[in-house]
Amino acid sequence: MADSFPAPRIDPIRSRYLDLVRRRQLYSGLTLTIFAVLMASGFGLANDRNAGGFLDGIGNIFAFPANVIEEAAAKIADMPANLLRFFPALVETVNIAAVSTLVGGTAGFALALLSTRGLAPWALAIPLFRRAMDVMRAVPEIVIALVLIYVLGGGPVPAMIAIAFHTAGALGKLFSEVNENADLKPVEGLASVGAGWAQRMWLGVVPQVAPNYLSYALLRFEINIRASAILGFVGAGGLGYELKNAMSWGQGRFDQAAAIFLLLFAAIVVFDQLSSHVRDRLTKGAAA
């Protein structure tokens, strides 16, 4: 059999293949090397620019948590009172997240309908709304929050507006991806009986996409709880604000910080579990 395939015909193929393999290996090797060099030099650079170096600090990494736990343990009797005291702040943080998800989700819903081909009432304006959503997503919450805190004063409202703005852009994009997959037949059916645009959307599209919308909104809610805690730290109320106060008043407040850490951790875990449970049901229910 081997004679029927003369060697000169196989050899070039093999050498070409090996060549390709070698070149591929070279490329992936190069990519990996570049990546490794980037990581190493990046960490070196960041290390140099840091106030304390990595090697100096690595020993202290547990010092602060140990301090906090020690003090919390010493004043364990105060813990229930502290938890109770900061619970309203937790409620505020969760409220900020919930309202901004609601408001941002509603705006995102409108933006998504306006920027999906086949559903948008003004097809020409689709790129406009898409770019608008891109910009809304690109603005970090802290930028709007800081500016609004300056104008509106500290408190939950600036954080709420800031997070809602970002949420509208982020959810709008996800929603419009869901819309792309929606079946247009119900919409056409409704159009044939003379339904207006709002009716077509509400009765033809929304029932199809609602489970996916809800699941994305819940995921966003989770993210927004974290965001609203962080924004509190720059002056927007809620747990973050209390945490900043507890931390900046020097020694002796770590028991309060511990209570806040606990509340935040518990809230994040609880809402994480809750939302993943509901999302599971939503997606499974949609499939069944």
* Number of chain positions touching other proteins (CB under 8 A): 62
To which H or E segment does residue 93 belong?
Answer: helix 79-114
DSSP class of 72: H
From candidates 118, 121, 127, 140, binder to other proteins by CB under 8 A: 140
Structure tokens at 49: 């620019």
Burial class from Cβ neighbours inside 10 Å (0-12, 13-18, 19+) for residue 102 reads: middle
From candidates 97, 112, 133, 160, binder to other proteins by CB under 8 A: 160
Looking at the Cβ atoms of 123 and 274, the one nearer to other proteins is 274
DSSP class of 65: H
Minimum distance from residue 153 beta carbon to other proteins (Å) = 4
Looking at the Cβ atoms of 154 and 184, the one nearer to other proteins is 154
Give the C-alpha distances (Å, rounded to integers) separating 153 from 105, 108, 147, 156, 237: 25, 27, 10, 10, 11
Site string for other proteins, 66-105 (x = CB under 8 A): -------------------------xx--x--xx--x---
150 binds other proteins (CB under 8 A): yes
Q: How far apart are CA 149 and CA 238, in angstroms?
A: 14
The residues near 154 (Cβ < 8 Å, ≥ 6 apart) are 235, 236, 237, 241
Residues engaged in binding other proteins (CB under 8 A): 35, 38-39, 42-43, 45-47, 49-54, 56-58, 60-61, 63-65, 91-92, 95, 98-99, 102, 134-135, 137-143, 146-147, 150-153, 155-157, 160, 226, 229-231, 233-234, 240, 243, 247, 261, 264-265, 268-269, 272
